[in-house]
Amino acid sequence: MTASETRPLTATRSFPADFLWGSATAAYQIEGAAREDGRTPSIWDTFSHTPGKVFEGHTGDVAVDHYHRFRDDVRLMADLGLNAYRFSVSWSRVQPTGRGPAVQKGLDFYRRLVDELLAAGIEPALTLYHWDLPQELEDAGGWPERATAERFGDYAALVADALGDRVKRWTTLNEPWCSAFLGYGSGVHAPGRTNPVSALRAAHHLNLGHGLAVQALRSALPEGSQLSVSLNLHEIRPLTPSAEDVEAARRIDAVGNRVWLGPMLEGAYPEDLLADTAHLTDWSFVRDGDTATAHQPLDLLAINYYAPTVVSRVARGDEKPQDDGHGNSEHSPWPGADDVAFHRAPGERTAMGWPVDASALYDLLRRTADRYPGLPLVISENGAAYEDEVGPDGTVHDPERAAYVHAHLDAVHRAIADGVDVRGYFLWSLLDNFEWAYGYAKRFGAVHVDYDTLERTPKSSALWYAGVARSGELRAPGDA
């Protein structure tokens, strides 16, 4: 039973009056202008220009040209009734080498964007890092090296100094699990490295960089600023109730979730994670005081959720399904979990092949709130890709996406009704865009983009979501 099936679909759900209704994007996926105003390559520029890494050789060189069209895009947000917008800053646009002084032209773009948002009554929610490490820092070793964490703290201070008077909501990292384990473990994301020890080193330095960035932000920002980190926490379900499958779920929880939650929210790495990976590393790259630095007080915990993770334990030599939803690679993004198999969940699936199960979002919110009482939550990403087509009349009708979002918002509302402090929801994504290794083949946007003309057309799901955002009431899509 999904969350949407636990209560009548026709019932109206009223959300708190101060609930944030937003959408989200990432710099490399939408901005374009890859070589303008002092910007230098990030690891995603390099990765996308490497033959065979991205679908049909697509790149973010132009993306959807948000760098030049941001005013039109802000007007779209206003038309859709959004009161918040989550965007990321391109590190290599504002600090091209990853060290030293900022490039003012790069910062000026974000100043103009923030001013435009505020003038439209839309609250900016800024993410410092959404996977686009300056290539020069990767050439010096990237996230497996401690110096990258230190440079990230410096970068956070630069951006806070430029925008701290106008931006209240700050997120340090987006989905560090992807940065560490897809970037340095399985290699399906930039920079495309495939070493499990490098992935674990990267995870630690992302934790450390988060803590250093929070310290820098606290020093630079005015009272009342809200700081968070955005984690793609995995809602992990054992395939069967057997002790073996429950053990598989524990292993994935350790390297998927608690590798971040432990240092960031509890001040220590979980002992079982260290034991699971002891054959790979002794974790000597963790210095005294590092986990205390990572463990900084947060005002919110941001959660990205798309689908549950179903696992089982397999014996050596047995067939091992690897449908974890994170791309195809001969190398695993799950160090210390070589005996864990990943299974297709039953039921409806999106164009990404991901199962549609809003009940897992409810369970994830309840579990997180129970573990960290008193820490407010926000959904910083949730959405779905479908095979959208422009109709003969120029409209894009996407009832599947509206149904997906409705079910997941219903799960959020149910969690709130059961006492979970959820402050907002950011739909992924505002615009169709460069979907990482999938290039432009997968469309997550509420707004359709013609990649030849760059014309924007709100889909029917966007018009429905606009009604929800304006009213604060969730109605079934057919009732909008």
- Residue of 31, 381, 400, 435 marked active site: 381
Number of C-beta neighbours around residue 242 at 10 A:
12
- Residue of 31, 138, 145, 175 marked active site: 175
* Secondary structure string (H, E, C) spanning the chain: CCHHHCCCCCCCEECCCCCEEEEECCHHHHCCCCCCCCCCCEHHHHHHCCCCCCHHHCCCCCCCCHHHHHHHHHHHHHHCCCCEEEEECCHHHHCCCCCCCCCHHHHHHHHHHHHHHHHCCCEEEEEEECCCCEHHHHHCCCCCCHHHHHHHHHHHHHHHHHHCCCCCEEEEEECHHHHHHHHHHHCCCCCCCCCHHHHHHHHHHHHHHHHHHHHHHHHHCCCCCEEEEEECCCCEEECCCCHHHHHHHHHHHHHHHHHHHHHHHHCCCCHHHHHHCCCCCCCCCCCCCHHHHHCCCCCCEEEECCCCEEEEECCCCCCCCECCCCCCCCCCCCCCCCCEEEECCCCCECCCCCECCHHHHHHHHHHHHHHCCCCCEEEEEECCCCCCCECCCCCECCHHHHHHHHHHHHHHHHHHHCCCCEEEEEEECCECCCCHHHCCCCCCCCEEECCCCCCEEECHHHHHHHHHHHHCEECCHHHC
Integer-rounded Cα radius of gyration of the chain: 21
Answer whether 304's CB lies under 8 Å from 131's CB.
no
- Report residue 27 as tokens: 């710099």
Answer whether 311's CB lies under 8 Å from 238's CB.
yes
Number of C-beta neighbours around residue 288 at 10 A:
6
330 is catalytic: no
Strand partners, 22: 84, 426
381 is catalytic: yes
**Mind telling me the catalytic residues?**
175, 381
